[in-house]
Amino acid sequence: MKEKEQKVIRTLVVEDMPFLQRAIKRALQKDPSIQVVGTAAHGKEALKALERLKPDVITMDVEMPEMDGITAIKHIMVRYPRPVVVVSGMAKSSKTALAALSLGAVDFVPKPGGSSYRTRSFNLNELCTIVKEVAAIDPTKIRRAKFHKRDRVVMRPSRRPDGLVVIVAQRGTMGFVIRLLAMSEGLKGAGLLVVSELDELVVKSCAEGLKGRVLFDILPAGSEVPILAGAAAIIPRKWEFSLTFDKNGVPLLRRVNTTSGLRYLQDLTSAFNGSIHFLYIGNKIEDWIKGAIKSAGAKVTIYDPFERSLDLQGDKDLVEQILNSEFELQRVLEHWIHSFAKERIN
């Protein structure tokens, strides 16, 4: 009996620098499951190629002549939605990173500047992995985040939360998490911790870009990240932390160089003594999160915004609830947040 043939992922590379365009194309085509069906030097060329070549995935630069990448993403998501992976040297730009992901890009990969990319940290092999992972996304489920006009002044919180919601964002879902944060009406007495698979530069840029755009404070990743009532801390998955407390009992995540196996998630579960909920955004729970949650005695609610086939890999005992719609997710989050909102007398 023959094994089922793996579908080849048709990919369009959009990049105005010829040497980097060639490098990305060569790297992607080393993987037999990826076929680069075309290249484009700017957004206008990409849109023409898109209609003709019908790629499954697009890699997109941002700074280009004729039509930049952000404008191209706007057109793509309206005319021919496809998973777009941004490959850009503008990872430090909070405006660019947030705009790309808010418009529907499913990932953002930093690239080096100049002509010496071979000596820099740009990992083309990682780009292959990303392309293969996001190819499974149903493009009709990709939605843009809409930020509503905010007339409420967000005050910096200073106390320990009554409870904590931990959102773990699988690769390709951070745009949806941004959409979720934009729709939230506030965290009340709860704290929020977002653990993202995005590159650390992009995570920090998105956090900076979200400041003032949502109805709660945003705490970007740094050497020390407080867990505060009414605030969202956004950190990269690859960073390791230890959990300590300040003199007022506020939990502090302090970055460490040693590998702790995400022990801080277990420690947070103990610190909040059950007043903690885990929400996994994606279609499978990877090994790195299984151990951290399971050994802490907690369970996770799972939601896949792209409605792919759930892959629980035999860990159904880990999953408390599977959500089937964005409306259901909103209701669950509101319930969690309100359950942590205790009355306080000043």
CA distance 106 to 197: 11
Instruction: Specify the pLDDT at position 102.
Output: 93
pTM of the complete model beyond 0.85: yes
Instruction: Specify the pLDDT at position 206.
Output: 92
Buried b (16+ CB within 10 A) or exposed e, 40-52: bbbbbbbbebbee
Alpha helices in 30-173 (DSSP H): 43-53, 69-79, 94-103, 124-134
CA distance 339 to 190: 9
What is the 8-class DSSP label of residue 9?
A: E
Extract the tokens encoding 132.
């293969």
Alpha helices in 211-279 (DSSP H): 263-271
Extract the tokens encoding 335.
């319930």
Going by C-alpha positions, the residue among 227, 110, 242 that lies closest to residue 164 is: 227
Give the pLDDT means over successive 10-residue stretches in the chain (346 positions): 66 94 92 95 95 95 93 94 92 89 92 48 76 89 81 72 92 89 86 93 92 88 92 93 92 88 86 88 80 76 83 76 88 87 51
Instruction: Specify the pLDDT at position 146.
Output: 83
Angle ∠(37,38,43) on CA atoms, nearest 5: 135
The interaxial angle of helices 43-53 and 69-79, nearest 10 deg, is 30
Question: Fold for domain 9-140?
Answer: Rossmann fold (3.40.50)
Residues of the chain with CATH 3.40.50.2300: 9-140
CA distance 228 to 238: 22
Buried b (16+ CB within 10 A) or exposed e, 111-133: beeeeebeeeebebeebbebbbb
CA distance 231 to 228: 6
Instruction: Specify the pLDDT at position 345.
Output: 39
CA distance 112 to 325: 39
Non-local CB neighbours of 345 within 8 Å, separated by 6+ positions: none
If you count them, how many residues does the chain have? 346
8 Å CB contact between 173 and 185: no
Rg (CA), the chain: 20
Non-local CB neighbours of 141 within 8 Å, separated by 6+ positions: 305, 306, 307
Instruction: Specify the pLDDT at position 3.
Output: 43
Going by C-alpha positions, the residue among 322, 307, 313 that lies closest to residue 290 is: 313
Residues of the chain with CATH 3.40.50.180: 163-339
8 Å CB contact between 32 and 11: no
Instruction: Specify the pLDDT at position 152.
Output: 63
Beta-bridge mates of residue 110: 88
Extract the tokens encoding 183.
């729709």
Phi, psi of 105 (to 5 degrees): -60, 140
Instruction: Specify the pLDDT at position 5.
Output: 57
**Which superfamily does CATH assign the domain made up of 163-339 to?**
Methylesterase CheB, C-terminal domain (3.40.50.180)
Going by C-alpha positions, the residue among 137, 152, 10, 8 that lies closest to residue 81 is: 137
